[in-house]
Amino acid sequence: MNIAVICTALLGVLLFGLGLYVSILRFRLGQNIGHNPNPVHPLHRAVRAHGNTAEYVPFLGLLFLWFAARPAPNWIEVTIAIATGARYLLVAGLLWGKSLEKPNPARFLGALLTYLCGLALAIGLTV
């Protein structure tokens, strides 16, 4: 199986898993809509992690599948794998860092790698 397809599946698991996690937290906390804006509140963190994932994963998935359908150079596959790891790293930083008020290393590195890999893949479309 192609690395791009596997990584697309992993991003889907992340997106829908976070959506389920938000729903579970809402049920447990009895909060059907909105969330406490406290930067350490678990529902706030989960909503931000899901929202951020929902912002980036669809286009990354589109790029991944584009390259899955065509012969791609090795650097593309490596970039796809790094981008996937970056998304998981960012979510870990959002969910388990001390607070959302300040970036932590996981969140910072996950965001930076997402930007760099996304740009590289978008530029790779022209090659």
What pLDDT sits at residue 1? 65
> How confident is the model at residue 33, as a pLDDT?
84
Q: Which tens digit of pLDDT belongs to each residue from 5-56?
A: 999 999 999 999 999 999 999 999 988 887 777 888 999 999 999 999 999 9
Dihedrals phi, psi of 48, to nearest 5 degrees: -65, -40
Inter-helix orientation angle 3-29/42-68, to 10°: 160
The whole-chain average pLDDT of the chain stands at: 94
Class of domain 3-124: mainly alpha
Q: What is the pLDDT of residue 39?
A: 85
Residue 37: burial class (beta carbons within 10 Å; 0-12, 13-18, 19+): exposed
At residue 103, the pLDDT reads 86
Model pLDDT, residue 37 = 79
